[in-house]
Structures are given as C-alpha cells and as structure tokens.
Amino acid sequence: MAVQAPKKRLDARAIRADFPIFEQLIHGQPLAFLDSAASSQKPRQMLEEMTEFYSTSYANVHRGVYVLAERATAALEGAREKVRALVNAPDVREIIFVRNATEAINLVAYSWGLNNLGPGDLVVVTELEHHSNFVPWQYIAGRTGAKLAMIPLTDEGELDLSGLDAIAAQGQIKVVATNQVSNSLGTINPVEKLVAWAHDQGAIFVCDAAQSAPHMTVDVQALGADFVAISAHKMCGPSGVGALWGRTELLRAMEPFLLGGHMINSVRLEKTTWGELPHKFEAGTAPMAEAVGFGAAIDYLQAIGFDAIEAYEHELAAYALGRLGELDGLTLYGPPADRRAGIVSFNVEGVHPHDVAQILDMQGVAIRAGHHCCQPLMQKLGVAATNRASFYLYTVREEIDQLVEGLHTVRKVFA
Ligand SMILES: Cc1ncc(COP(=O)(O)O)c(C=O)c1O
C-alpha cells in the first residue's frame, strides 16, 4: 500500500506576518479583517514585485524595441503564463487579461452572446449568482430575444437540480452560467455536474470562479467548462486585473469586445482586421504592473498550496458556524460547514445589518453588510440584506472570537 505524504498544514500566523495591513490598530483594536470575499489583503512579496517592476522594468509593452519595453513585455507575458499554469489551461493564448471577473463575463456575454443567442434560446443562471454573472446575461438575453431561466435553491442555500429537465423543456439551452462558490453563502456548487448537463444540451458553460480560484485548485481541463472568469484582487493580487480563460475555438470565432489599439491586425479605411489571440481581446495598454502583481500573488499562493488553503478555510468555517451558533437571536444562512467555503452569512434579529457592521467596526472588526450584489438571492431569502464574514489564508481564530464578542455588544446595545 502506498504511504501518503502527510498533508501540509497552513500556518496562518506566519502567513499573517507577510501582510503589512495587520500592523495597525483600528479604533485602538487589533484588526479583525473578515471581508476577504469582497477583496483580499496583499502580501509584502506581491507589493515588492510590483514596486520592482515599476522601478526597473517599466515601459509600455509589445510596441517598443528597446530594453525596457522588452523587459516589460517579458514580465507581462510571464504573468500570463503563471495564470495559464494556475488554471491548467492548455494554451497560454487562451488567457485574456481583463480588469476583473465582471469584465470577463461581460466579454463572453457580449462577444459570444450577441452573435449566438436569439428567440427560442435559453440562458440558464442560478438564484445564487453575483450580479456580475446575472445582469450581463439578463441584458444580452433581452437584447437578443433569448429567455433567462433560473436554477432555484434549496432551503439550505444549495442548487436544487431536480428541475433541470423542466428547464430544458422551456427552450434551446445555449448558455449555462454559474459560480463555483457563492460569495453570499459560501455554497460550493456542483459545477462538473452542471458542465456535463450544459454540454448534453449543446450549451456552453461559463464558470464564474471569482470566489473559488482564490481558495481552491481550479483546473479548467478537469472542470470541462468553456469559459472561466477570475479576479486578481480577491487572491492577494492587485485591483484592476483579472483573467478570462476560454477555449481557443470559441475565442477565435468570437467578435472582439473592446476596439482600439493593439487588438488589430491591420487598419484600413475600408476595413479593420483583428489580431490573433489573446491580443484580439486586449485593446489598449495592458494592465502591466497589475499583471506582474497577479503573477506574484499566484506564486505566493502556490508556495503555500491550494489544498492547504482550502482545508484551512473549511476549518475556519466550521469554527465560525459553531461559535456563531452559540448566539441567541442569530439567523445563519447557507449549507453546513463541510459543504461550504470560508464564508458565513447571518442576521441578528431586530438589528439592521448596517448597524451590526458599524458597531463591529468600532471594535476593529471589518465585515460586510448588504445584499452582496446578490439581490435575487436576498429576494429568495426574504431579506433585504445580511451580514457576511469571510475568511482567507491569513485569518486566525481570534478574529472570529473578536466577531462573536462584537456581536454580544451589538445585542447589548440593541437589547
Ligand atoms: C461570485 C462572484 N462573482 C463575480 C464577482 C465580481 O468580481 P469583480 O468585482 O472583481 O469583477 C464577485 C465579486 O465579489 C463574486 O463574488
């Protein structure tokens, strides 16, 4: 019998020391940063690599023949290769740099959707989608005469797949677009199953991996999806850059999304022709330093290991659900800990989520309050908003304890 190597456990306290943001007090308290699902904090290693790029290698890319332009181009293309390796894409030209996951999904919705959807067609999303994977599809469906259909949720906040046949009977499914991990409830969705179903219907599958790629291995080949969208800022990278992965044959057949410099092959008065992948989809000056930072963030996360990150966050979710469960008058949303990522949504009875978040802030605890860009989900839950605490590789249990202490104070203030 093969002996399994012991799994590497993550040392959150050592990792935390890499993040300068934690060196300060907030309202005189240690910072309990529980809003990583909105955007993660940044390690020194990533910040230093961006500074190094700006200090030693900065120039516009692709256009110059001088040393700095060549260095900058190599840095940008090196970062693209890191993204390719991160998601195990078969070809580096399938990695398109975009501003964020939202832009990645809009690119697909506009460039693929406008030319491939029409009356009688269905676009299938879920009640669990972030607006970024809902509004573009709703809009493009409206523009093309296609219909939008929703996969509903169970009471535990998981996708209810029992009605898939009924959805398929409503029209010709052309697109299935879902997230892999819900930003509101932390639900881990059965994406492989949905990819297989989408392909059985002759549809493409668009995976919103904004909340999964920072926390677990996302392998586009294993997943079998057709497009995958990610944002760097949620995974220790800078804001302003993300990536779309798409299958070569689909990307090649698509019209460009943004038009202008760099994305062309030739421009004549009569006609402009498009450049090759990935440039066809990268009009204008690239997010060069941001891409370098993205690459550095990927190096950082990979050195720690996605298996270790995922396992650690499961532990944190279980711990948080246990501790929050001790509080009276608290409603918890979403599935049990073993079926969710490091995100916990809740409401305190009789207290508006914004008031909860404000009182917590006075105690150094940063959580999110609102609809989390998931209004269809809030409608389903029958609430206008929730509080959300979300964790990452630098989160320590003391921060969750600080949250629970803070919630006791909320209860006292509003008693
Ligand atoms: C599941 C999910 N999809 C998409 C997005 C959009 O990401 P971005 O704002 O980086 O475009 C988010 C951001 O919170 C998200 O959580």
The answer to whether residue 372 scores a pLDDT higher than 60 is yes
The stretch 383-402 carries a mean pLDDT of 97
The stretch 62-87 carries a mean pLDDT of 95
User: Where do the DSSP E strands lie in 106-263?
Assistant: 121-126, 147-151, 172-179, 204-208, 227-231, 242-246
Pocket test for ligand 1, best of 211, 216, 218, 374 (most atoms within 8 A of CB): 211
Which residue is closest in CA terms to ligand 1's atom 7? Answer: 101
User: Residue 402's pLDDT band (boundaries 50, 70, 90)?
Assistant: very high
Number of Cβ atoms within 10 Å of the Cβ of 410 = 23
Q: What positions carry a catalytic annotation?
A: 373
What distance in angstroms lies between residue 240's CA and the mean position of ligand 1's atoms? Answer: 13
The answer to whether residue 2 scores a pLDDT higher than 70 is no
User: What domains are there in the chain, each with its CATH number?
Assistant: 12-39+305-413 (3.90.1150.10), 49-302 (3.40.640.10)
387 beta partners? 346, 369
Q: Helix (H, G, I), strand (E, B), or coil: what is residue 167?
A: helix
Atom of ligand 1 nearest to the CA of 99: 11
The stretch 290-297 carries a mean pLDDT of 98
The stretch 142-162 carries a mean pLDDT of 97
For 183-215, the pLDDT digits (tens) are 999 999 999 999 999 999 999 999 999 999 999
Confirm if 291 and 76 have CB atoms less than 8 A apart: yes
What distance in angstroms lies between residue 74's CA and the mean position of ligand 1's atoms? Answer: 29
Average pLDDT of the chain to the nearest whole number: 96
Residue 390 Cβ inside 6 Å of ligand 1? The answer reads no
Residue 35 Cβ inside 6 Å of ligand 1? The answer reads no
User: Residue 415's pLDDT band (boundaries 50, 70, 90)?
Assistant: confident
User: Helix (H) and strand (E) counts for the chain?
Assistant: 15, 17
pLDDT of residue 8: 78
For 117-128, the pLDDT digits (tens) are 999 999 999 999
**Chain centroid to CA 291: how far?**
16
The answer to whether residue 1 scores a pLDDT higher than 50 is no
For 16-54, the pLDDT digits (tens) are 999 999 999 999 999 999 999 999 999 999 999 999 999
What distance in angstroms lies between residue 101's CA and the mean position of ligand 1's atoms? Answer: 6
Residue 178 Cβ inside 6 Å of ligand 1? The answer reads no
Cα–Cα distance between 153 and 180 in angstroms, integer?
A: 14
The secondary structure of 110-177 as a DSSP string is IIIIHHH--TTEEEEEETT--GGGTHHHHHHHHHHT-EEEEE-B-TTS-B-GGGHHHHHTTSEEEEEE
User: Residue 366's pLDDT band (boundaries 50, 70, 90)?
Assistant: very high
pLDDT of residue 5: 54
For 309-337, the pLDDT digits (tens) are 999 999 999 999 999 999 999 999 999 99
The stretch 135-158 carries a mean pLDDT of 97
For 355-364, the pLDDT digits (tens) are 999 999 999 9
Residue position matching structure tokens 């995976």? 207
pLDDT of residue 3: 52
The answer to whether residue 69 scores a pLDDT higher than 60 is yes
What distance in angstroms lies between residue 210's CA and the mean position of ligand 1's atoms? Answer: 5
Residue 132 Cβ inside 6 Å of ligand 1? The answer reads yes
